[in-house]
């Protein structure tokens, strides 16, 4: 056994056994971040914090929730909301965080696209970011079923029906996913398991992978400038802090993160207390009724753009378009063939247009997804859906021609 000196502090005692000083150095005090970044680079931490809020509030809700089709609705809408002390608060935090996690994911993703943070050695950061995004979508869908209200039931019906795969008529797959012919107890309990155990565990592992993927290529900067991090870090350590292009994560960069996080949490809790309504669908305040189809079935706002890509087409084409929309963002680092890892405003006109048209198109699709598929809405939806697909198909062509800047 190794020989241990007498420790003079708890830190030293732990350091002798767990090398915590070295861990702190590698993970924080000598983890270098570029100086030239703005508040948008705090979104990763904001995301991690929102995920933390979801976990904590979820644990409290889990103490009273009943995963049974006969009890679920009342356990949420009556027991948690009215009987349990501060049950309403945990539910509001959970609902607002579930919506906000997607707001921040979309901001974080589009920041990545704007600054070209998926290019040149950063491909794995992008891919390991997309993985929790997809898992979050499954997590949100499974959570939506749990109160077993009208929208839980009917959204569950519509989404599981997609696995009928149009012309392939794979009814057996739908039944297998539901564990029954229609959404019922078996479906509720398995989605409950996915929501509270399996998917959160997968998300934690995937976020860990995402963080690990940041280590070697390092975080990008506003100008897309490439430099030697080791060299810049040496300058910083030698006291040339102004000259150096990097700052240590702890204590310098984290203070920026904490500042942005403070503003975010102020807005977040303002909504939790005063305007939580946007995160709770009123249709879901009616208990699930298999005999009463709601007039208009729609998913939560963060799925609307991809739902609108499915809707305007015939079943088979719609499913292919929907599948395309689900996976295409994974391939972005390989579809963008430009030699420039620069922000949009420094890139060619074609890419500038591509970026802004994509963003506007996704917003328009999101708005349309909530509207009933009637008249002019259907036509605009069709144009928006085709445009989305075309944008990704032409991306390699327009970016290959881009001149090096
Ligand atoms: C869902 C949980 C996620 C968490 C907790 C998370 C966290 C983080 C953190 C802490 C950073 C470093 C600082 C920053 O740039 O904000 C980061 C960077 C990054 N993330 Fe995420 N992220 C998540 C999802 C995603 C998604 C969905 C994408 C896009 C597909 C993505 C793409 C990126 C990229 C490209 C970077 C590098 C930014 C740069 O180098 O400038 N992340 N992420």
Other C-beta atoms lying within 10 Å of the C-beta of residue 321? 20
Gap from CA of 358 to ligand 1 centroid (Å) = 20
- What radius of gyration, in Å, describes the C-alpha atoms of the chain? 24
Gap from CA of 222 to ligand 1 centroid (Å) = 15
CA dist., res. 388 & res. 104, Å (int):
21
In the prediction, which pLDDT does 22 show? 96
* Cut 0.85: pTM above it: yes
Q: Do the beta carbons of residue 126 and residue 118 sit within 8 Å?
A: yes
Question: What do you get for the CA distance between the two ends of the chain, in Å?
Answer: 59
DSSP letter at 287 equals B
User: Is a pLDDT exceeding 80 seen at residue 27?
Assistant: yes
Nearest ligand 1 atom, CA 132: 1
The average pLDDT across 353-367 equals 98
In the prediction, which pLDDT does 329 show? 97
Q: Ligand 1: which of 52, 55, 112, 332 to mutate, judged by most atoms within 8 Å of the beta carbon?
A: 112
Tokens of 189: 């309990």
Banded model confidence at residue 1, pLDDT cuts 50, 70, 90: low
In the prediction, which pLDDT does 235 show? 96
Gap from CA of 259 to ligand 1 centroid (Å) = 18
Nearest to 156 by CA among 166, 168, 165, 148: 148
Q: Is the CB of 219 under 6 A from ligand 1?
A: yes
The model's pLDDT over 46-56, given as tens digits with 9 standing for 90+, comes to 999 999 999 99
The average pLDDT across 297-314 equals 91
The model's pLDDT over 49-108, given as tens digits with 9 standing for 90+, comes to 999 999 999 999 999 999 999 999 999 999 999 999 999 999 999 999 999 999 999 999
DSSP letter at 402 equals P
């Amino acid at each position: 056994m190794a020989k241990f000196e007498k420790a003079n502090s708890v830190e030293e005692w732990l350091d002798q056994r767990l090398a915590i000083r070295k861990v702190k150095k590698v993970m924080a005090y000598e983890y270098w971040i570029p100086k030239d970044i703005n508040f948008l680079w705090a979104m990763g931490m904001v995301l991690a914090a929102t995920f933390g809020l979801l976990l904590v509030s979820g644990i409290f809700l889990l103490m009273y929730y009943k995963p049974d089709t006969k009890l679920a609705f009342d356990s949420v809408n009556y027991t948690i909301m009215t009987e349990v002390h501060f049950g309403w608060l945990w539910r509001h935090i959970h609902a607002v965080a579930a919506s906000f996690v997607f707001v921040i994911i979309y901001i974080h993703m589009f920041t990545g696209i704007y600054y070209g943070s998926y290019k040149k050695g950063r491909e794995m950061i992008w891919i390991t970011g997309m993985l929790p995004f997809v898992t979050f979508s499954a997590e949100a869908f499974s959570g939506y079923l749990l109160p077993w209200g009208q929208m839980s039931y009917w959204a569950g019906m519509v989404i599981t029906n997609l696995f009928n795969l149009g012309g392939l008529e794979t009814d057996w797959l739908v039944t297998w996913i539901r564990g029954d012919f229609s959404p019922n107890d078996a479906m509720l309990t398995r989605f409950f398991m996915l929501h509270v155990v399996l998917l959160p565990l997968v998300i934690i592992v995937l976020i860990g992978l995402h963080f690990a993927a940041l280590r070697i290529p390092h975080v990008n900067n506003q100008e897309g400038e490439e430099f030697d991090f080791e060299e810049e870090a040496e300058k910083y350590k030698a006291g040339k802090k102004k000259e150096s292009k990097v700052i240590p994560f702890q204590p310098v960069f984290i203070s920026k993160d904490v500042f942005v996080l403070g503003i975010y949490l102020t807005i977040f809790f303002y909504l939790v207390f005063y305007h939580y309504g946007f995160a709770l669908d009123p249709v879901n305040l009616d208990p699930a009724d298999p005999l009463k189809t709601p007039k208009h079935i729609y998913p939560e706002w963060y799925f609307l753009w991809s739902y609108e890509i499915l809707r305007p087409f015939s079943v088979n084409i719609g499913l292919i378009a929907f599948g395309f929309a689900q996976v295409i963002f994974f391939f972005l680092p390989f579809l963008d063939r430009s030699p420039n890892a620069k922000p949009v405003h420094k890139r060619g006109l074609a890419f500038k247009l591509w970026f802004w048209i994509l963003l506007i198109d996704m917003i328009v699709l999101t708005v349309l997804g909530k509207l009933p598929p009637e008249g002019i809405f259907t036509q605009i939806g069709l144009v928006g859906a085709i445009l989305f697909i075309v944008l990704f198909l032409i991306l390699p062509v327009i970016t290959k021609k881009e001149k090096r800047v």
